Amino acid sequence: KARVPVSLSLTLDISDSMRGQRMVDARAALATFLDSLLAVEDEASLLGFNHETRMFGEWTTERAGLRTKLEAIRPSGGTALYDAIDAALPQFGSRQHPRAAILLVSDGADTAGDRTPTELKQKLVRSDVFLYAIGIDSIDARNSTRINPFTLNELTSQGGGYTEIIRSTADLGPATQRIAEEPNHQYMIGYTPTTRADGKYHSVRVRVTNPAYTVRARRGVIR
């Protein structure tokens, strides 16, 4: 079957802890994502977040402009990670493609936000946007500022995606490449009644017989 284009929001932590090599490696990984891992017809946007979320680039298929804005980012401030996810979701109302995803990259815990994980999970379950995250878990950071992999996993699972936890920004490239493969292996399955619609909700169960394959699914309602 033909691959369906995707609208992808790159949502990058630009707080003070991302200074230096971390930002250099993050820029390189996201630039590679834009240049090599997205299909020509895919559109992307660029958000940065520290204690507030800022839109650096609206939806576009032109990569050069986003790369230029990515290079101009200078880290500062705290980390409002949950607020950033909350701010990213409304932009999908103006997307061009039916499939949608957020790729979030961060190296720290939420230290400056107003939103809670519970609030976000409620929003994600009502959304058709897939959430993926790459968490940089640095052993030299204080426990209060280290990435929280458990909460991040909860959020991405609710958002139909998954979390990659890496120890070094040198692993950002392989992590983004694995996530980039996800849109090439996603399918939407719906239920069509054989007789008159009964007005009830129906579930579709997917099983695979080959033990080499696994299925990860998110619940949703198709109208």
Query: Does residue 81 contact residue 13 with C-beta atoms inside 8 Å?
Result: yes
Q: Is 107 helix (H, G, I), strand (E, B) or coil?
A: coil
Query: Does residue 156 contact residue 162 with C-beta atoms inside 8 Å?
Result: yes
Best-predicted range by mean pLDDT among 76-80, 125-129, 157-161, 217-221? 76-80
Closest alpha carbon to 164 in 103, 90, 96: 103
Q: Which amino acid is at 101?
A: A
* Residue 186 burial (CB count, 10 A): 15
Residue 213 has a pLDDT of: 83
Q: The tokens of 109 are what?
A: 């815990």
Query: Does residue 142 contact residue 154 with C-beta atoms inside 8 Å?
Result: no
pLDDT, tens only, 88-118: 999 999 999 988 999 999 998 899 999 999 9
Backbone angles phi, psi at 179, to 5 degrees: -65, -35
Residue 13 has a pLDDT of: 97
pLDDT, tens only, 173-198: 999 999 998 877 777 677 777 777 77
Residue 143 has a pLDDT of: 61
Question: In whole numbers, what is the pLDDT of the chain averaged over residues?
Answer: 88
Residue 185 has a pLDDT of: 75
Residue 63 has a pLDDT of: 93
